[in-house]
Amino acid sequence: MDDDFKSLPKIEKATREVCLPVMIRDLDINGHVNHVVYAQWALESVPLETWNSHHLVGIELNYKAEVHHGVSVNIQSEELPTVVGQKQYAHQIFRQDTGIEVARARTTWQNK
């Protein structure tokens, strides 16, 4: 299958890091973390100052591995260069116990 999806950037130097446990509420009917939760995790790693001064206008996700209950995840983010009035962050999510990358994301924010 051909696709036009570009790879999401790998973080070069994390500027923020958050660790969260996988909760029962995060699971789908098959016992895997629901796809929406990965987006929520990425958003948790965005600085509060960005939330206060910008609106989320875009999110891209690349799922790499399943996650189940009983582990914790480490979410790292890095602000990317962008145009005035806009912010972008690269996010990587890892299993804390194994260090395996489970997802990448990029969020885009516009001035309020």
Sorted by where each begins, the domain ranges of the chain are 16-111
Higher pLDDT among residues 22 and 1, named by residue: 22
Task: pLDDT band for 18, please (50, 70, 90 cuts).
Answer: very high
List, for residues 50-75, the tens digit of each pLDDT value.
999 999 999 999 999 999 999 999 99
Task: Give the C-alpha separation, 89 to 45, whole Å.
Answer: 9
pLDDT of the residue at 7: 81
Q: Is the pTM of this model over 0.95?
A: no
Tell me how far CA of residue 67 lies from CA of 11, 20, 35, in angstroms: 21, 12, 10
Segment 21-48, tens digit of pLDDT: 999 999 999 999 999 999 999 999 999 9
Q: What is the pLDDT of residue 1?
A: 59
Fold entry, domain 16-111:
Thiol Ester Dehydrase; Chain A (3.10.129)
Instruction: Return all residues near 84 (Cβ < 8 A) that are at least 6 apart.
Output: none
